[in-house]
Amino acid sequence: MSFYRTQRLGQVIQEKISALVLEGRIKDKRVSPFLSITKVDVSKDLSCADVYVSDIRGLNIKKGTEGLQSAAGFIQSQLGSSMRIRKTPVLRFHADTSVGDSFDLIKKIEKLVVD
């Protein structure tokens, strides 16, 4: 498979999962609308996809990730019905703390500059 195809499939998966989260179609209480999908890496053989999740508020990323992982079957079925591919990739959700880490770094730099 070409890199372009896996990248394009990752973008489509990211958009579809983000829409499911925002619309509130995932009924798990741990999944809040403040969760955002930052990146999706699809394997070369299209068998699995690593989905990276961030929380805008910086709270409960781990719980939100666990909620999405428990709803992975539902999400895969929704992806399968809306996308035209032979086999829907198995989804693995990971917490992405880079956004929160960058805000913390900016706060530390601002504190150094002000002092």
Domain residue limits, the chain: 3-114
Does the pLDDT at position 1 exceed 70? no
- DSSP characters for 45-59? TSSEEEEEEEETTSS
Total-model pTM: 0.84
- 71 and 26 in contact (C-beta within 8 Å)? yes
- Least Cα distance to 54 among 32, 25, 28 occurs for 32
Please check whether the domain covering 3-114 is classified as CATH 3.40.50.720: no
Residue type, 58: G
pLDDT in tens, 76-97: 999 999 988 888 999 999 999 8
Confidence category of residue 20, pLDDT binned at 50, 70, 90: very high
